[in-house]
Amino acid sequence: MPPAVSPLAVPLPSLAPLAGVRLGAAAAGIRYRGRTDLVMVELTPGTTAAGVFTRNRCPGAPVDWCRAALKGGKARGVVINAGNANVFTGRAGAEAAKASAEAAAALIGCRPREVMLASTGVIGEVLPHERLTAALPALHASLHDDAWEAAARGIMTTDTFPKGAVRRVRIGDTEVTIQGFAKGSGMIAPDMATMLCFVFTDAKLPAAVLQSLLQKGVAGSFNCTTVDSDTSTSDTVLLFATGQAKHPRVPPEGGRMLREFKAALDDLLLDLALQVVRDGEGAQKLVRIDVTGAVSSGSAKRVAMAIANSPLVKTAIAGEDANWGRIVMAVGKAGEPADRDLISVAVGGVWMARQGGVVEGYDEAPVVAHMKGREVAIEVDLGLGRGRATAWTCDLTHGYIDINGSYRS
Amino acid sequence: MPPAVSPLAVPLPSLAPLAGVRLGAAAAGIRYRGRTDLVMVELTPGTTAAGVFTRNRCPGAPVDWCRAALKGGKARGVVINAGNANVFTGRAGAEAAKASAEAAAALIGCRPREVMLASTGVIGEVLPHERLTAALPALHASLHDDAWEAAARGIMTTDTFPKGAVRRVRIGDTEVTIQGFAKGSGMIAPDMATMLCFVFTDAKLPAAVLQSLLQKGVAGSFNCTTVDSDTSTSDTVLLFATGQAKHPRVPPEGGRMLREFKAALDDLLLDLALQVVRDGEGAQKLVRIDVTGAVSSGSAKRVAMAIANSPLVKTAIAGEDANWGRIVMAVGKAGEPADRDLISVAVGGVWMARQGGVVEGYDEAPVVAHMKGREVAIEVDLGLGRGRATAWTCDLTHGYIDINGSYRS
């Protein structure tokens, strides 16, 4: 029986056609039965591409492939499969990746290095790429411009709902669209992002600009989220610009003209990252952690992530217990500059502890009510400087153990 | 209803009187009802002392107290309470610590700075030290030399069994004893050790020698164990030498004469540390992780701890799944030098993956049988150098969520 849909799920927005992108999904039988598990995207000639990948030192073969392929800054296609991550598969894994890219390139009529790959699923089993390549011709023939929901569903593994987002902004006087889809539910911790995410825009942007925008956007979104502190070997965020929108030419350095675009991209990436946290394995509550008063923003982020990754904080939240003692413990374990007697902690906007001690007579009722809700807000002020950061996580529940403690989930 | 005793529990060894140590336990009603929660130890004049404490940046008042008090290298008493950690309690916490030490010192007839303190339990509530000091006179009057089990039980919080160990060795031709007790079950991660541990010997050792021995011993024991990656604010290991044994004088630098003593102390500390892991909250399996072939021993330790702290590895073990893919993921997330295509992984002595790929046709039956047992052994060879390290952890089960997801456990 598949797990119930996350209580934190949000509906998939309507994803309309985007000029220069055709896509589709098929059931290749790579691992799952009776569902789609293979997604193909064809991009119009001239599409530029950027990517950010896991910092795990044991990345999958598709990550190796994309890192090399992205040096050209161009892409004509993407092939994504679910059910097998093609990780820790040695030479056979690299060959499976190459064969997949070659098969897609032949159908699209491009060089293999213009095809990006992403795989997610079981680690340590060679990708049965013959099944994948056997399914590609029919899939390619069926590609169309409005199969976005099918694509968002086709890349899911333990996800309980499909994840997508769209933003419309102007470059000059021309409206452009940014939209994408993502998957992820467990093995979610930054450095980087822990899941697969594919974002497309019809803007015309040099690959270097795209790469810079993506790196900054990921730093403030996927890299500020965690489900279980485990960093996947396959994390991939790809951004493609088809160049079909008729806006004024963007200079190589990007700059002011992209201010609105950058803000919308950042917002969209955060939206998708939070959808992944909302689908965190076993998640019942979405948790936002704001740290202020740190000696630097980097220090604030490390403190926020230490809180976000603490099993004791996360189980307390699952138990609807505003246990600020555990929050202080997590601050201290981060190893960052902190003075116990200056720390203040708020839950749901109520400051329970100020400058190192409990706030006598604080109003417990709104805190109790807040903890019963689906979204929990924790604020920590370190009282040392002006560094601030935000991190997002979910609670740690029996559902996480159920999902991950059963054989080969 | 208290949780059942851990299936990994080991019996408390017989702890005989040790010359120079008198101890006892009482019910002071600090938090718990109907059980002992206060332990006092009186040490003979001339006893030397050493300590190692949490690296959490928000330590409790008792840790502050001991750090300052240990500068003298001498101790005449120890007061330990369970139920309240006296952490994040500001000036009131420091005053509660001082009052406790003063009351004990008056009874013993020593300076307050010769009394060591340790508290464990709820964070953020001021220690009701009047209850503690009110109970001390009767407790002090009842101290005797064979109350070791009572002391081991009196310091328990969520522990399901008392923890003790004893070793007898020779210094010169004289037999000396090292024995101690510990508590700990959750909020267990190194840097340092996450629990309270008190070790006593009748050997006569300068405080500096004692400190050096203890630091080395903790590095190879408590600092190589983890239950949940959360580092307590109260971790304390204290070592006392009463000097009652009539062995030849030990030189200030320690040296060869202490070789046997050092080995026994290391072994005893590891024994106690593993008892804490065996009592890890919800633990059903004890897990040993050996990493070899790293570029250095420090690198090996960081990789071993990354595996030991991975929720996905720990839930896989709970599910009796020898999921070596998750082990490789955890190796990669450690950020240490690793070459995916050189890594080998064994579970229960069976090498399932070698040099970056599955071992075709390896015998699964003994692996399956091993995973069903109470003790799981994981070996990882990185194939890079000669660095090696060992870490210990337990599995992550529903029991952990039960214990920590309920209100103010």
Confidence at residue A383, expressed as pLDDT on a 0 to 100 scale: 95
Compute the nearest-CA separation of B120 from chain A (Å): 12
Confidence at residue A188, expressed as pLDDT on a 0 to 100 scale: 52
User: Distances from the Cα of A33 to the Cαs of A82, A321, A404, B27, B287, in angstroms?
Assistant: 12, 41, 20, 61, 35
Whole-number percent of chain A with pLDDT over 90: 56
How many helices (H) and strands (E) chain A has is answered by 11, 15
Compute the nearest-CA separation of A253 from chain B (Å): 32
Compute the nearest-CA separation of A384 from chain B (Å): 14
Confidence at residue B358, expressed as pLDDT on a 0 to 100 scale: 86
Higher pLDDT, A182 or A99: A99
Quickly state the pLDDT bin for B187 (edges 50, 70, 90).
low
Q: Is the pLDDT of residue B399 over 70?
A: yes
Architecture of domain B21-278: 4-Layer Sandwich (3.60)
Contacts of A399 (CB under 8 A, 6+ apart): A3, A281, A282, A283, A284
User: Distances from the Cα of B284 to the Cαs of B31, B139, B317, B375, in angstroms?
Assistant: 28, 37, 9, 9
Q: Dump pLDDT digits (tens) for B244-289.
A: 999 999 988 888 889 999 999 999 999 988 888 888 888 899 999 9
By C-alpha distance, which of B155, B113, B116, B108 is closest to B136? B108
B84 in a labelled binding site:
no
Q: Dump pLDDT digits (tens) for B334-382.
A: 889 999 889 999 999 999 999 888 888 888 899 999 999 999 999 999 9
The DSSP line for A71-92 is: GG-B-SEEEEEEEE---S-HHH
Residues in chain B with CB shorter than 8 Å from the CB of A57 are 331-338, 340
Confidence at residue B255, expressed as pLDDT on a 0 to 100 scale: 81
Q: Which residue of B has its CA nearest to A325?
A: B123
Task: Please state, rounded to an integer, the average pLDDT across all residues of chain B.
Answer: 88
The SS3 call for residue A330 is: helix
**Subunit contact B90:A187, Cβ cutoff 8 A:** no
**Subunit contact B90:A330, Cβ cutoff 8 A:** no
Q: How far is CA A349 from the centre of its chain?
A: 27
Tokens 């508290």 belong to which residue? B119
Print burial letters for B347-382: b (CB count within 10 Å at least 16), e (below 16): bbebebbbebbbeeeeeeeebeebbeeeebebbbbb
Confidence at residue A230, expressed as pLDDT on a 0 to 100 scale: 66
Compute the nearest-CA separation of B171 from chain A (Å): 39
**Subunit contact A328:B123, Cβ cutoff 8 A:** yes
Contacts of A183 (CB under 8 A, 6+ apart): A82, A120, A152, A155, A156, A157, A159, A163, A195, A196, A197, A276
Radius of gyration in angstroms for the set of CA atoms belonging to chain B, rounded to a whole number: 22
Confidence at residue B3, expressed as pLDDT on a 0 to 100 scale: 62
Quickly state the pLDDT bin for B224 (edges 50, 70, 90).
confident
Q: Closest to B328 (Cβ–Cβ): which among A58, A333, A358?
A: A58
- The answer to whether A95 and B364 are in contact (CB under 8 A) is no
Confidence at residue B261, expressed as pLDDT on a 0 to 100 scale: 94
Residues in chain A with CB shorter than 8 Å from the CB of B376 are none
Quickly state the pLDDT bin for A6 (edges 50, 70, 90).
confident
B315 in a labelled binding site:
no
The 8 Å CB, 24+ separation contacts for B137-142 are B137/B107, B138/B26, B139/B24, B139/B25, B139/B26, B139/B38, B139/B40, B140/B24, B140/B40, B140/B42, B140/B104, B140/B107, B140/B108, B142/B24, B142/B26
Size of interface A-B (CB pairs under 8 A): 208
For B184-324, strand residue ranges (E) read: 196-201, 236-241, 286-294
Compute the nearest-CA separation of B192 from chain A (Å): 10
Q: Is the pLDDT of residue A194 over 80?
A: no
Q: Is the pLDDT of residue B188 over 70?
A: no
Region of B150 on the Ramachandran plot (φ > 0 left; ψ -120 to 50 alpha; else beta)? alpha
Q: Dump pLDDT digits (tens) for B300-334.
A: 999 999 999 898 899 999 999 998 888 988 898 88
- The answer to whether B156 and B31 are in contact (CB under 8 A) is no
Q: Dump pLDDT digits (tens) for A201-214.
A: 999 999 999 999 99
Confidence at residue B59, expressed as pLDDT on a 0 to 100 scale: 83
How far is it, in rounded angstroms, from Cα A201 to Cα A199? 7
**Subunit contact B87:A325, Cβ cutoff 8 A:** yes
How far is it, in rounded angstroms, from Cα A315 to Cα B408? 11
A-interface mutation test, from B56, B88, B305, most A Cβ less than 10 A away: B88
Q: Closest to A321 (Cβ–Cβ): which among B56, B335, B408?
A: B408
Task: Please return the burial class of B131, using the count of CB atoms within 10 Å of its CB with bins 0-12, 13-18 and 19+.
Answer: middle
Confidence at residue A192, expressed as pLDDT on a 0 to 100 scale: 33
Averaged pLDDT for residues A226-241:
76
Whole-number percent of chain B with pLDDT over 70: 95
User: Distances from the Cα of A317 to the Cαs of A307, A320, A321, B160, in angstroms?
Assistant: 12, 5, 6, 24
In chain A, domain spans: 21-278, 286-404
B-interface mutation test, from A333, A368, A372, A402, most B Cβ less than 10 A away: A333
Q: Closest to A332 (Cβ–Cβ): which among B57, B125, B328?
A: B57
Of A134-143, A229-238, B197-206, the poorest mean pLDDT is in A229-238
Residues in chain A with CB shorter than 8 Å from the CB of B355 are 90
Confidence at residue A80, expressed as pLDDT on a 0 to 100 scale: 94
Compute the nearest-CA separation of B74 from chain A (Å): 28
B-interface mutation test, from A31, A54, A57, most B Cβ less than 10 A away: A57
Whole-number percent of chain A with pLDDT over 70: 95
Of A174-178, B89-93, B117-121, the poorest mean pLDDT is in B89-93
By C-alpha distance, which of A213, A229, A224 is closest to A264? A213
Contacts of A87 (CB under 8 A, 6+ apart): A58, A59, A60, A61, A93, A119, A123, A124, A233, A234, B325, B328, B329
- The answer to whether A82 and A156 are in contact (CB under 8 A) is yes
Quickly state the pLDDT bin for B229 (edges 50, 70, 90).
low
Residues in chain A with CB shorter than 8 Å from the CB of B334 are 57
Confidence at residue B186, expressed as pLDDT on a 0 to 100 scale: 63
Active-site residue B133, yes or no?
A: no
Q: How far is CA B166 from the centre of its chain?
A: 15
Confidence at residue B335, expressed as pLDDT on a 0 to 100 scale: 85
Q: Closest to B325 (Cβ–Cβ): which among A123, A333, A357?
A: A123
User: Distances from the Cα of A250 to the Cαs of A74, A208, A257, in angstroms?
Assistant: 17, 12, 7
Catalytic residue (one of A194, A236, A390, A393)? A194
Q: Is the pLDDT of residue A134 over 70?
A: yes
Q: Dump pLDDT digits (tens) for A350-379.
A: 999 998 888 888 888 999 999 999 999 999
**Facing residues of A39 across strands?**
A25, A80
Averaged pLDDT for residues A291-316:
93
Q: Which residues of A are annotated as part of the binding site for substrate?
A: 157, 183, 194, 281, 404, 409
Catalytic residue (one of B120, B158, B194, B233)? B194
Architecture of domain A286-404: Roll (3.10)
**Subunit contact A330:B407, Cβ cutoff 8 A:** no
Quickly state the pLDDT bin for A5 (edges 50, 70, 90).
confident
Confidence at residue B230, expressed as pLDDT on a 0 to 100 scale: 66
Residues in chain B with CB shorter than 8 Å from the CB of A326 are 123, 230
**Subunit contact B57:A355, Cβ cutoff 8 A:** no
Higher pLDDT, A13 or A198: A13
For A156-215, strand residue ranges (E) read: 163-171, 174-183, 196-201
A-interface mutation test, from B55, B56, B359, B367, most A Cβ less than 10 A away: B56
Task: Please state, rounded to an integer, the average pLDDT across all residues of chain A.
Answer: 88
Q: Is the pLDDT of residue B406 over 80?
A: no
How far is it, in rounded angstroms, from Cα B167 to Cα B176? 9
Q: Dump pLDDT digits (tens) for A263-285.
A: 999 999 999 888 888 888 888 99
The SS3 call for residue A54 is: coil
Residues in chain B with CB shorter than 8 Å from the CB of A232 are 329
Q: Is the pLDDT of residue B92 over 80?
A: yes
Q: Is the pLDDT of residue A190 over 50?
A: no
